[in-house]
């Protein structure tokens, strides 16, 4: 198994699109450079903020190839290879490994309700077919399936390749249970917050960092939460953590993915809109977003 350290701030990089909704790989490469210059610790291809849910399989491979080529080993590259079926997840995971991904992030199956046994069996089956680390991905509000802490702990103990979990439930007790139940399992296991407001709290409890959509907008700020924590500068880390609250408050006006991508566009980057139909933000939302971006710019956030 490839040895890769899981740590820090990992942006699920937005997938830039042209007006016809085709992928703009040139702008993707620009965003990759912007993120690395911003100090991020890894990159995540076609995560939720990268619109992985709406990209075709071939488009995912194009994005991953470009990201791996542009990154050139400077930071690890994660690939979101989870699909609804086990068969499809295995195929996409094997292709991601073949293309050179460092880590697989595998979201739970969606739409149909799965038992914890079915989820366990799904991940075990995928792990048998690949040879790179796997990070479990729990986002029940989007998939309809919750990966319980006990199931995460059992998978962590039973499957060598499963070395981490991302919790995007937004439920602090669930994130903490992921950390607590995998603390003493006889191997390193890394828990990542998928909710940007819980990154520092997770680190303080023993977590490894966060897969942070807001890093698409503020890579320096988000990266500094982890870096300052590691340096023991907790007050400064808390200040950085608190500074993204006003931006996250804009999420009430629409889909967070849409808000994030529109924010990146308003900052002057030609990333386009989210693929339809998930691209609408009300006039009120746009007005508030512009206001927050200006306030944060004046505060030196980037």
Note whether 191 and 237 are within 8 A (CB).
no
Residue 10 CA from chain centroid, whole number = 6
What tokens appear for 131 in the block?
A: 């040879």
Q: From the CB of residue 114, how many other CB atoms can be counted at a distance below 10 Å?
A: 20
Q: How far apart are CA 121 and CA 108, in angstroms?
A: 12
Angle at 272 between CA 212 and CA 111, to 5 degrees: 55
Q: What separation in angstroms does the CA of 119 have from each of 86, 177, 205, 214?
A: 10, 18, 26, 29
Longest CA pairwise span in the chain (Å)? 53
| Strands of the sheet with 43-45, listed across from one edge | 8-10, 209-211, 190-193, 162-167, 134-138, 103-107, 77-80, 43-45
Strands 190-193 and 209-211: parallel
Q: How far apart are CA 214 and CA 48, in angstroms?
A: 12
Nearest to 169 by CA among 140, 143, 201, 191: 140
| DSSP category for residue 84 | S
Helices (H) and strands (E) in the chain, counts: 13, 8
Nearest to 76 by CA among 35, 107, 136: 35
Name the active-site residue from 137, 178, 190, 218.
137
Stretch (H or E) spanning 193 = strand 190-193
Q: Among this protein's residues, is 137 annotated catalytic?
A: yes
Would you please indicate which residues are annotated as catalytic (active-site) residues? 137, 166
């Amino acid at each position: 198994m490839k040895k890769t350290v899981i740590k820090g701030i990992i942006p699920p990089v937005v997938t830039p699109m042209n007006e016809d909704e085709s992928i703009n790989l040139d702008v993707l490469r620009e965003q990759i450079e912007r993120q690395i210059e911003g100090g991020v610790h890894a990159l995540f291809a076609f995560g939720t903020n990268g619109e992985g849910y709406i990209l075709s399989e071939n488009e995912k491979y194009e994005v991953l190839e470009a990201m791996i080529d542009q990154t050139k080993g400077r930071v690890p590259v994660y690939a979101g290879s989870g699909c609804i079926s086990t068969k499809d997840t295995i195929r996409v995971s094997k292709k991601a490994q073949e293309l050179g991904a460092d880590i697989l992030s595998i979201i739970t199956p969606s739409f149909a309700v799965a038992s914890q046994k079915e989820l366990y069996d799904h991940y075990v089956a995928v792990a048998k077919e690949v040879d790179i680390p796997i990070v479990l991905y729990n986002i029940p509000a989007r998939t309809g399936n919750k990966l319980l802490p006990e199931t995460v702990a059992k998978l962590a103990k039973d499957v060598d390749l499963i070395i981490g979990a991302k919790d995007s439930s937004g439920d602090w007790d669930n994130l903490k249970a992921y950390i607590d139940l995998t603390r003493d399992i006889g191997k390193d296991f890394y828990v990542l917050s998928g909710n940007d407001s819980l990154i520092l709290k997770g680190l303080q409890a023993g977590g490894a960092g966060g897969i942070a959509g807001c890093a698409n907008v503020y890579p320096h700020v988000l990266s500094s939460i982890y870096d300052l924590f590691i340096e023991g500068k907790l007050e400064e880390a808390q200040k950085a953590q608190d500074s993204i609250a006003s931006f996250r408050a804009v999420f009430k006006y629409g889909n967070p993915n849409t808000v994030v991508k529109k924010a990146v566009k308003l900052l002057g980057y030609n990333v386009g809109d989210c693929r339809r139909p998930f691209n609408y933000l009300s006039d009120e939302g746009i007005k508030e977003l512009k206001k927050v971006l200006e306030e944060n710019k004046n505060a030196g956030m980037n």
